[in-house]
């Protein structure tokens, strides 16, 4: 089933002084299936964050339409249905928290929805468990690591029980360990809870873990394919100012020299295995 | 991150911490009012004993309570000196030197006023020592709920308060960072007179403001994304309810207030009896 459908969507920010309004998102059509893990990449100003904000009605399209589980985001009466089905996590975890105690912050979403007390408590428990932070229920987030804070921000969004999770560069401010923590959490949600994930990122290693990658350039979709197919394009990626991850580069280089390495390897383990296999064959 | 002790909350578990925060706010207000009815030194001693016992039950070191006066000590001194020399009531004896006139009544008045201020500050800090900021905002929200009837958005105001409190440490950290960045580029913020120093703060204040607005933008998006205002009837996860310990606290507090009022209106200040008894004792 289609979770989100975009049809020829255009969006321009208001003209700023003498700069004319340019479409930040320019004629994007796209369908996202339920349960998919989609990575969105593109250099700064390619329109990826604008695209993200169009998905849950924070921004409304100038032209075209965004449909979330059959509801148009411009339908004002149902905007909160849209926002509760598409949860959004932002870049800086510090700017997403409203309360100084973990459980109060996570309860914010369900409280807004006007749920019963027991249901709110159940959801807070569930959300904390999903991100592996149950023991921090009563603590304050001030002294936590970036990865922990971002996991809490995810829990805060999970508590509204979205079917789609949009992460707008949510790993950009984290150290490698924090990034891994967040990636593990969203992979688990994708597999266990069948949640669709739309992950906007700069890190190509993270892109490799997705089922599908969308490359944005100048507000349009430049490429839309499986990660290995996108990275197999090699030099063409430079046009979009993207650098393939090391694993892909090594595999490509080895394959070019005649080694029997499939171009679809995405992880270090796969690469290692492929190299061993090709060596033992000789 | 710098640990900003806003109101210096003492995160320990005690019966006072567990009291209903609404009750604690009401107690504090009543305490402030009661302080203006304390009539004798006996009364002030009683207040001090009361505060110290509350500290004991709350597992808050009394030293922390006394420390709270440090910030206002200059103000206290000025008040005491002014009261001492400009006492306008009736006086029995007067000692005059140059333009200064001092009387026993003035000394009495100045001392009492100083005790009153000190005890006022110490008493109110117990509230912030034993109550977390989120509890405080929840309690204020609950206490002001009747204002909803005249269309005052109490819930929103409480949310604004809690967000403001939550962002204070972040903004202080940001200010520190920007100050260091400006110092690294050769800004001089520590020398010169007051005006020069205020002017030197400008390159710090402007980036802090810009960053605060940026944070506010992102926060607004985050609030919207989490369905803020989705339902006209927002619910609450935390329920505040009275327990037996609240009743006990109420009775103790009521007894304390009663003695203070008895001292003023019935006994007319126990001091004179104590002085008499003391005089009788020594001879």
Q: What is the pLDDT of residue B283?
A: 67
Give the mean pLDDT of chain A. 87
**Per-residue confidence band for A204, with pLDDT thresholds at 50, 70 and 90:** confident
Measure in Å the smallest separation between the Cα of B250 and chain A Cα atoms.
28
Higher pLDDT, A257 or A169: A169
Distance CA A23, CA A59 (A): 13
What percent of chain B lies above the pLDDT cut of 70? 96
The answer to whether residue B208 scores a pLDDT higher than 50 is yes
Can you give the residue ranges of every domain in chain B? 15-131+242-282, 143-225
**Per-residue confidence band for B1, with pLDDT thresholds at 50, 70 and 90:** very low
Higher pLDDT, B3 or A233: A233
**Per-residue confidence band for A282, with pLDDT thresholds at 50, 70 and 90:** low
The backbone region for A219, taken as left when phi is positive above 0, alpha when psi lies in -120 to 50, beta otherwise, is left
Higher pLDDT, A244 or B50: B50
What percent of chain A lies above the pLDDT cut of 70? 97
Other C-beta atoms closer than 10 Å to the C-beta of B34 total: 20
The minimal CB distance from A83 to the residues B218, B225, B237 is found for B225
Backbone angles phi, psi at A66, to 5 degrees: -115, 125
Q: What is the pLDDT of residue A261?
A: 78
Residue with tokens 């992880």, as numbered in its chain: A267
The minimal CB distance from B239 to the residues A80, A92, A117 is found for A117
**Per-residue confidence band for B41, with pLDDT thresholds at 50, 70 and 90:** confident
The answer to whether residue B4 scores a pLDDT higher than 50 is no
Q: What is the pLDDT of residue A229?
A: 83
Measure in Å the smallest separation between the Cα of B7 and chain A Cα atoms.
14
Q: What is the pLDDT of residue B5?
A: 43
Interchain contact A157–B (C-beta under 8 A)? yes
Domains of chain A as residue ranges with CATH: 2-235 (3.40.50.300), 245-282 (no CATH)
**Per-residue confidence band for A22, with pLDDT thresholds at 50, 70 and 90:** confident
Count A/B contacts: CB-CB distance under 8 Å.
Answer: 104
The answer to whether residue B201 scores a pLDDT higher than 80 is yes
Q: What is the mean pLDDT of residues A175-197?
A: 91
User: Residue A62 in contact with residue A12, Cβ under 8 Å?
Assistant: yes
Q: What is the pLDDT of residue B89?
A: 72
Other C-beta atoms closer than 10 Å to the C-beta of B232 total: 6
The answer to whether residue A187 scores a pLDDT higher than 90 is yes
Higher pLDDT, A108 or B274: A108
Q: What is the reported pTM?
A: 0.78
Q: What is the pLDDT of residue B188?
A: 77
């Amino acid at each position: 089933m289609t979770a989100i459908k975009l049809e020829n969507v255009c969006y321009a920010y208001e003209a700023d002084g003498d700069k004319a309004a340019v479409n930040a998102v320019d004629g994007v059509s796209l369908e996202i299936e339920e349960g998919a893990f989609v990575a969105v990449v593109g250099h700064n100003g390619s329109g990826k964050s604008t695209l993200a904000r169009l998905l849950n009605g924070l921004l409304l399209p100038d032209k075209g339409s965004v449909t979330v589980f059959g509801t148009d985001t411009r339908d004002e009466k149902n905007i909160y249905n849209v926002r509760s089905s598409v949860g959004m996590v932002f870049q800086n975890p510090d700017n997403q928290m409203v309360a100084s105690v973990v459980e109060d912050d996570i309860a914010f979403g369900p409280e807004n929805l006007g749920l019963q007390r027991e249901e709110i408590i159940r959801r807070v428990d569930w959300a904390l468990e999903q991100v592996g932070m149950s023991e921090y229920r009563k603590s304050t987030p001030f002294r936590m690591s970036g990865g922990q804070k971002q996991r809490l921000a995810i829990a805060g969004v999970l508590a509204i029980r979205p079917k789609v999770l949009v992460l707008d560069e949510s790993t950009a401010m984290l150290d490698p360990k924090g990034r891994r923590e967040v990636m593990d959490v969203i992979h688990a949600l994708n597999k266990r809870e069948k949640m669709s994930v739309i992950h906007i990122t700069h890190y190509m290693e993270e892109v490799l873990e997705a089922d599908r990658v969308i490359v944005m350039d100048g507000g349009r979709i430049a490429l839309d394919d499986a990660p290995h197919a996108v990275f197999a394009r090699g030099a063409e990626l430079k046009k979009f100012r993207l650098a393939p991850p090391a694993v892909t580069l090594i595999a490509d280089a080895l394959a070019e020299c005649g080694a029997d390495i499939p171009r679809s390897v995405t992880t270090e383990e796969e690469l290692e295995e492929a190299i061993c296999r090709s060596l033992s064959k000789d | 991150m710098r640990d900003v002790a806003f109101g210096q909350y003492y995160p320990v578990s005690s019966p006072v911490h567990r009291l209903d925060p609404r009750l604690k706010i009401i107690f504090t207000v009543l305490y402030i009012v009661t302080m203006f009815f304390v009539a004798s030194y006996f009364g002030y001693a009683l207040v001090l004993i009361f505060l110290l016992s509350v500290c004991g039950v709350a597992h808050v070191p009394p030293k922390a309570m006394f420390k709270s006066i440090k910030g206002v000590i200059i103000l206290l001194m000025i008040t005491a000196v002014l009261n001492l020399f400009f006492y306008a009531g009736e006086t029995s004896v007067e000692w005059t030197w140059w333009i200064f006139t001092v009387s026993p009544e003035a000394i009495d008045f100045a001392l009492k006023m100083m005790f009153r201020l000190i005890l006022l500050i110490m008493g109110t800090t117990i509230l912030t020592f034993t109550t977390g900021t989120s509890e405080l905002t929840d309690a204020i929200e609950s206490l002001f709920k009747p204002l909803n009837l005249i269309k005052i958005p109490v819930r929103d105001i409480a949310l604004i308060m809690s967000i403001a409190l939550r962002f204070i440490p972040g903004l202080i950290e940001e200010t520190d960072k920007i100050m260091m960045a400006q110092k690294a580029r050769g800004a001089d913020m520590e020398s010169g007179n007051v005006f020069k120093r205020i002017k030197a703060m400008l390159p710090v204040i402007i980036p802090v403001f810009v960053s605060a607005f940026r944070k506010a933008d992102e926060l607004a998006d985050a609030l919207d994304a989490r369905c803020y205002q989705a339902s006209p009837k927002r619910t609450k996860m935390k329920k505040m309810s009275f327990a037996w310990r609240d009743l006990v606290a109420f009775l103790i507090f009521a007894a304390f207030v009663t003695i203070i009022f008895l001292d003023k209106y019935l006994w007319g200040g126990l001091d004179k009896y104590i002085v008499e008894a003391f005089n009788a004792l020594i001879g």
